[in-house]
Amino acid sequence: MPQQTKKHSLLTAVTVTISTMIGTGVFTSLGFQVIDIESTLPILALWMIGGIIATAGALTYGELTSAFPRSGGEYNFLSNLYHPIVGFLSGFLSATVAFAAPIALAAMALGSYFGGVISEKDASNFESVQMIIALGAIVLLTIVHIIKVSLSGNFQKFITSLVVLLILGLIVSIFFGGEPTALPSLGLSYDMNALLSTPFAVSLIYVSYSYSGWNGAAYITEEIENPKKNVPLALVLGTMTVMVLYVLLNFAFLYAAPISELKGQVDVGLIAAGKIFGTSGTVIVGVLISICLVSAISGMIFIGPRVTQRMMKDVIPNIYNRYTSLRKELPLIPILFQSAVAIFMVVTYTFPQVLVYIGFTLSLSTTATVFGIFILRTRHKHIETSYKTFGYPYTPIIFILFELWMLTHILMDKPGESIAGLVTVAIGFVVYYIANYYNKSFENK
């Protein structure tokens, strides 16, 4: 009789949710937001609204998890609520870009942060240093995660334990470490107009990316104790904790550095630290933020292929059974494929392009999933759930309306990246039918 795998506690589930959220976005997005929004209030409103949207999504996912307590996140929910092909399209996004793009973004940011620590930013070889660091991190962490499952888990547990302490320490240090700059404010009229502008909607995509991961515990539902109760709690508690940290951290960045020096910069945390602590403090903070980014890269390399693995078991079981005989349950091929896509993005795309592209595609998937709560309540009344969405139906409606607003603005303002996201979904249809065809051919052998 096989030994039963030990389940993770509620605390572990909360930690997973927090660690999958805290990564690239919070240390990089502000520099792009202040290009078009130059006042403190709407910038902080971005992070508060982003947190509210993520919390609304987490509350809704809680009920969906209670109804369908199975690992896989959106792939699991959409397959049950709509049709297996809809779930496959979400899983296809996970397999191709939903995790690979965040890996690429974190690697690019790591190159900028750690590259700034070990070399001068105005040096002629700085871009080369950035690229070497970004690609090297992906390759090394991929190796860590394909050697042995236990090594992979232990490394992730160690590296993510530093992240929350880093955020708290950085916030406290910035507020108490030196002289503040004048917080930018252009008046109430400017602030209100900014809240209704296209740049605000586009910036909200950046912020939404920073909160992506609020659904982290849903990907490992079957590995958590009492998942119908603990996964919803983990999603909500983790998301609300991160929202508080994000608002405070971005306020600290604006408090420490002039907005003119933050515009268009990826390494805003490094700039803010330099203003408060000088050169030596910049080095320390740069290294600490780099640890956060390493954790983000490692986490995505670890989690992403598990979604792909779950999908392969369902969609192409005959092919999967033959493939797993090589390395048992280690998702070797999904890990290698995901890292290859991330490397391709690092080499060929700019940071803002990847950020908008992944923000758009993830919004498509999560919006469809949250809308599924209405399908659950009307078509699947026979399914008993131990958790009900707080504030239903207003909670999912808030999430859906904000997501549709963002998607509309991003489609108009960034059509290239948006169309690329839609093309990715369309390719998923073709892959689905090809996968089914080859799975049947394996069955006949």
Is residue 4 situated within a structural domain? no
Q: Give mean pLDDT, residues 402-410.
A: 81
- Answer whether residue 437 is part of any domain: yes
How many Cβ atoms are within 10 Å of 261's Cβ, its own excluded?
16
pLDDT in tens, 115-128: 767 766 556 677 78
Mean predicted confidence (pLDDT) in 424-442: 79
Task: Give ∠ CA 426-431-437 in degrees, rounded to 5.
Answer: 140
Phi and psi at residue 8, to the nearest 5°: -85, 150
pLDDT at 393 over 90: yes
**pLDDT of 431 over the 70 cut:** yes
Residue-range definition of the domain harbouring residue 218: 10-443
Give the model's pLDDT for residue 55. 93
* Residue 43 CB-density burial (10 A; 0-12 exposed, 13-18 middle, 19+ buried): buried
Q: What percent of the chain is predicted at pLDDT more than 90? A: 16
In a domain, 82, yes or no: yes
Give me the mean pLDDT over the 328-354 stretch.
79
Range scoring the smallest mean pLDDT among 171-175, 199-203, 380-384, 438-442: 438-442
The answer to whether residue 220 sits within a structural domain is: yes
**What is the torsional sign of CA 91, 93, 96, 100?**
negative
pLDDT of 86 above 70 = yes
- Asked, for residue 5, whether it belongs to a domain, the answer is no
Decide if pLDDT at 160 tops 80: no
Closest among 346, 423, 330, 335 to 135, alpha carbons compared: 346
Dist CA 104 CA 418 (whole Å) = 18
Q: Is the pLDDT of residue 400 over 90?
A: yes
Q: Is residue 171 part of a domain?
A: yes
pLDDT of residue 3: 45
Task: Give 139-155 pLDDT, tens digit per residue.
Answer: 999 998 888 766 666 67
Q: Where are the alpha helices (DSSP H) in 29-125?
A: 30-33, 40-67, 74-81, 84-93, 100-118
Partnered with residue 224 across adjacent β-strands are 8
| Mean of pLDDT values over 179-188 | 66
Mean pLDDT value across residues 207-212: 81
pTM here? 0.78
- The answer to the question of residue 2 being in a domain is no
Contact 38, 184 (CB under 8 A): yes
Give CB contacts under 8 A, 24+ apart, made by 412-419: 412/198, 413/198, 413/201, 413/202, 414/202, 414/356, 414/360, 416/353, 417/353, 417/356, 417/357, 417/360, 418/356, 418/360
pLDDT (0 to 100) of residue 5: 52
In whole angstroms, give the CA distance from residue 43 to residue 25: 14
pLDDT category, 412, cuts 50, 70, 90?
Answer: confident
Identify the band that residue 204 occupies on the pLDDT scale cut at 50, 70 and 90.
Answer: confident
Q: Is the peptide bond before 232 cis (omega within 30 degrees of 0)?
A: no
**pLDDT tier at 97, thresholds 50, 70, 90:** confident
Task: Name the domain count of the chain.
Answer: 1
Residue 2 binned pLDDT confidence (cut-offs 50, 70, 90): very low
pLDDT at 1: 38
Residue 91 phi/psi, 5-degree rounding, is -65, -35
239 falls in which pLDDT band (50, 70, 90)? very high
Q: Is the pLDDT of residue 326 over 60?
A: no
The CATH number of residue 35's host domain is 1.20.1740.10
The per-residue pLDDT for 353 is 65
Q: Is residue 382 part of a domain?
A: yes
Res. 286: pLDDT tops 50 = yes
Banded pLDDT at 399 (limits 50, 70, 90): very high
Length of the chain: 445
The dihedral region occupied by 68, where left means phi > 0, alpha psi between -120 and 50, and beta the remainder, is beta
Q: What are phi and psi of 363, to 5 degrees?
A: -65, -40
- Which of 62, 72, 135, 132 is closest to 98 using CA atoms? 72
